[in-house]
Every structure is written in structure tokens, then in C-alpha cells.
Amino acid sequence: MIKILIVDDDQMNCDLLQNVFTRHGYTVMSATSGAEGLRLFRKETPRITILDLRMPGMDGLTLLKEIRAIDPHAPVIVLGGGATEVQENQARGLRVTDFIRKGLSLDILVEAVHRIAVLPVHSDPDPVPPFERSAVQEMNESVLIVDDDDLVCDLLVQFLRLRGYRAVGAKDGIDALNIVDDDPPDVVLLDLVMPGMSGVEVLRLLREKEYQGGIILMTGSHNEELLEEAWALGPQEVLVKPIDLERFLTAIQLVLVCREC
């Protein structure tokens, strides 16, 4: 089995990427710190490492240097959201295999991993076809993910699609409202704090439009006044970021069941 190591200090990103690549037939490990990532790299010798550049403690550049000291040719894909030009140049100077900005589509990252995985490696005696996927039973239920964080939005969409939902993403409130007007989804998962039109404003407009689907809010904010304002508009659930994926799925399933009832 081809091993992938994901190192990102955001646990939700680790969990979502792990789910995506596991469904594509890879063996996936994850770490939320550079030190833990280095320990797993030494122990597991992954075929591909996906590395967040900005992390507290041992950052991605330091970890990349350690990886290069162990294996000068190990494939490493760097996720560079928020990195400076100097940091990007340093990463490229350390012969990073691919450099992907976090704002880009998840498909680009998946394609980069597939491309590396098919290259011949003498130390990997038992590769599996990288496009091997578990059979997914397609469902009729549609879900709209609204989040201004491009990577989180794409990951959640991919996570739900791999479980059979018809999921689409919107990066802001205006896009979300246009999608609801054109083809109302069964459930909207809505980030509460977004630049421009906030989640509360989107929720208020959905109520004015008499949108009949379920609404689940996602937030990392602990602003009690904001949360009270949101609850007053009648969402079915509020999920706290970083999102627990099991609770995420359970919330969607419960909302869909309640709609049927």
C-alpha cells in the first residue's frame, strides 16, 4: 500500500485529507505538529508527504530540512497558504516536489498525489492503483457548503461526495444565495463568520426567501451575542470548529430525517 503522511496543525484539515485519500486507496497517517510528523516520517517512511508550511513550534520549512537530511529524494508536497515569498523560495530550494496554495481546488492536490504515486519507486514493493476507489452509493440528498476558507470548503464537499451526497460549495454568501435560488439544496452548512456578507445575514435572507431546507451553522467564534442572534433565526444545529467529522455527518443525517418527518 502506498503511504501518505499529512502534517498540518489544523486537526480538521488532517482528518478531511485523511478521509479523502483513504477513499482513493492510500494508507494515510497524520500529525498536527512538525515534531510528530518527523517521528512518523522516520518510523513509517511514507511514499508521499503533504506538509503545511506554517505551523507553530517546528514549522514546515524546518521539518522539510529534516526530511531532506533523511531522504534527499522523498516526494514532499507543500501546502503554502499564507506563506511569504521568502518561505516559498526556501521550500523550492529544498527541492519540494510540488507547491500548492491552500486556496486552490482540492482536485489539484489529489491529482498531484496521483501523479507522484504512479512514478516507479524501488522501495515500494506493493503499490496499489492510485485511482482505486471504494464503491459509493449515490444519494438523492443535496448539500451546500458555504465557507470562505477555500480548502475547508473543498475538503467538506469532497468528504460528502465520497459518501454519496450531491455536495457543492460556495465561497461567499452571494454565491450561496444564487445557488439556493437556482437549485435549492436539502441542507445548507453555513460558516457563521465570513468577510462581506456574514453567515447571519445569509441565514436571515434565507428565512426571508422561505427556504425550506435544513440549515446547520459552523463557527469558530465564541461571541455569545452573535450566536444568540444566529439561534434566533432557527438553524437546526450549530457545529463548533474544528469540526468533528462524525458529528458533522450525524447532524446532516438528523436534519434530513427531521425534514422527512
> What is the structure's pLDDT at 81?
65
Q: How confident is the model at residue 7 (pLDDT cuts 50, 70, 90)?
A: very high
* Mean pLDDT computed over every residue of the chain: 84
Say whether both 171 and 81 belong to one domain: no
Q: What percent of the chain has pLDDT over 90?
A: 42
* 50 within a domain of the structure (yes/no): yes
104-143: b (≥16 Cβ within 10 Å) or e = ebbeebbebbbebbeeeeeeeeeeeebeeeeeeeeeebbb
Q: Which whole number is the average pLDDT over 150-175?
A: 87
Q: Is the pLDDT of residue 132 over 70?
A: no
Cis ω for the linkage preceding 242 (within 30 of 0): yes
Nearest Cα to Cα of residue 71 among 94, 100, 90, 98: 94
Helix, strand, coil percentages, rounded to 5, for the chain: 45, 20, 40
Q: Residue 188 and residue 184: Cα distance in Å, rounded?
A: 9
* 128 within a domain of the structure (yes/no): no
Q: Which whole number is the average pLDDT over 134-158?
A: 78
Among 74-78, 248-252, 256-260, the minimum mean pLDDT is found in 256-260
Say whether both 167 and 229 belong to one domain: yes
Report if pTM > 0.75: no
Q: How confident is the model at residue 101 (pLDDT cuts 50, 70, 90)?
A: confident
Residue 48: all three cell numbers together: 508521499
Among 124-128, 166-170, 228-232, the minimum mean pLDDT is found in 124-128
Q: What percent of the chain has pLDDT over 70?
A: 89
Q: How many CB atoms lie within 10 A of CB 34?
A: 23
* 88 within a domain of the structure (yes/no): yes
CB 235 within 8 A of CB 215: yes
Helices (H), 173-244: 173-182, 199-208, 224-231
Q: Is the pLDDT of residue 86 over 80?
A: no
Q: Which whole number is the average pLDDT over 146-172?
A: 87
Nearest Cα to Cα of residue 75 among 36, 123, 131: 123
Say whether both 170 and 241 belong to one domain: yes
Say whether both 147 and 100 belong to one domain: no
Angstrom CA distances, 176 to 118, 137, 223, stand at 37, 26, 24
Say whether both 99 and 200 belong to one domain: no
CATH number of the domain encompassing residue 215: 3.40.50.2300
Q: How confident is the model at residue 104 (pLDDT cuts 50, 70, 90)?
A: low
Domain span holding position 20? 3-117
Beta-ladder partners of 52: 79
Radius of gyration of the chain (CA): 20
Say whether both 103 and 146 belong to one domain: no
Q: Is the pLDDT of residue 105 over 80?
A: no
Say whether both 107 and 168 belong to one domain: no
